[in-house]
Amino acid sequence: MVGKGVLLECLDHPEIAEVLVVNRSTVGITHPKLKELIHKDFYNLDAIKDQLQGYDACFFCLGVSSFRMSEEQYHKLTYDLTLHFAETVVNPDMTFCYVSGTGTDSTEKGSTMWARVKGKTENALLAMPFKKAYMFRPGIILPMKGIRSKTPIYNAGYTILRPFFPLMKNMASVTDTIRVGKAMIQVALHGSDKTHLENRDINELAG
C-alpha cells in the first residue's frame, strides 16, 4: 500500500527521471518512467544485483504486520530482509528512506517486540555508508488515489473509515500515501536536518 503510493508520487514528479520497482509481483502500472523488476526471493539478490546499481535513492517500503508472529519470524521479515537489500544497493551516492513506524524503539530494549525489531533495523541502516539515510515513522496512513492495503484486516478498517478520511487528514497522528511519497522525494532531493521523521515531520515535508 505504502510502496504503491510512493510510486505514484514519483511518477508524477517532474524532477524524477526514472523509477525502478523491485517487487514479487507486478504493480500493474505502465508509465514511460517506470521499469519493473520481478524477483521472488528477497533473501538472495545475486541474480539482479547489477540491475540495482546507479540509482540516487532507494525508498524501501516493504513491511509486514507483527500480528500473530513470533519475534524470530518478524525479525527475519523485517531486519534480515531489509538489511540484505540495503547491503546489496548501498553506495555513498545513494539516499535510503526506510518506512518504520510511530513508536519504534531506538534503544532496542523496550517491551514491545515489533518496536525493538524496527529500532534495531533503523540503527543498522543509519550505520551503513549511504549518502544519507532517513527513518520514516508514520502513524496512521490513509490510502489515497484508489490504493488498497494487502492486509485484509487493515483494508476492512479503511473501508469503514473512508467517509471520515477528510476529517482524519488533519489529525496529528494521521498521514496518507500522498504525503509519505512527497516527503520521501523531498528528502531525497533536498535532504533534512532530521534522520528520524515522525508523523508531523512527514506532513510538514510534504507541504
Q: How far apart are CA 161 and CA 135, in angstroms?
A: 27
Structure-block grid coordinates of residue 70: 513470533
> What range does the domain containing 57 cover?
2-206
Q: What percent of the chain has pLDDT over 90?
A: 82
The reported pLDDT for the residue numbered 145 is 83
The reported pLDDT for the residue numbered 86 is 98
User: What is the largest distance, in Å, between two alpha-carbon atoms of the chain?
Assistant: 47
The residues with which 18 forms a beta bridge, in sequence order, are none
pLDDT means over runs of 10, the chain (207 residues): 95 98 95 97 97 97 93 98 98 98 97 98 98 97 80 65 68 91 98 97 96
Structure-block grid coordinates of residue 125: 541502516
Query: Which sign does the torsion angle of CA 123, 128, 129, 133 carry?
Result: negative
The reported pLDDT for the residue numbered 153 is 64
pTM over 0.75? The answer is yes
The structural domain count of the chain equals 1
Three-state SS annotation for the chain: CHHHHHHHHHHHCCCCCCEEEEECCCCCCCCCCEEEEECCCCCCCHHHHHHHCCCCEEEECCCCCCCCCCHHHHHHHHHHHHHHHHHHHCCCCCEEEEECCCCCCCCCCCCCHHHHHHHHHHHHHHCCCCCEEEEEECCEEECCCCCCCCCHHHHHHHHHHHHHHHHHCCCCCEEEHHHHHHHHHHHHHHCCCCCEEEHHHHHHHHC
Burial class (CB in 10 A: 0-12, 13-18, 19+), 34: middle
CATH of the domain at 99: 3.40.50.720
Q: How many other CB atoms are found less than 10 A from the CB of residue 51?
A: 13
For 111-170, what is each residue's pLDDT tens digit? 999 999 999 999 999 999 999 999 999 999 998 887 776 666 666 666 666 666 666 677
The reported pLDDT for the residue numbered 146 is 78
The reported pLDDT for the residue numbered 171 is 80
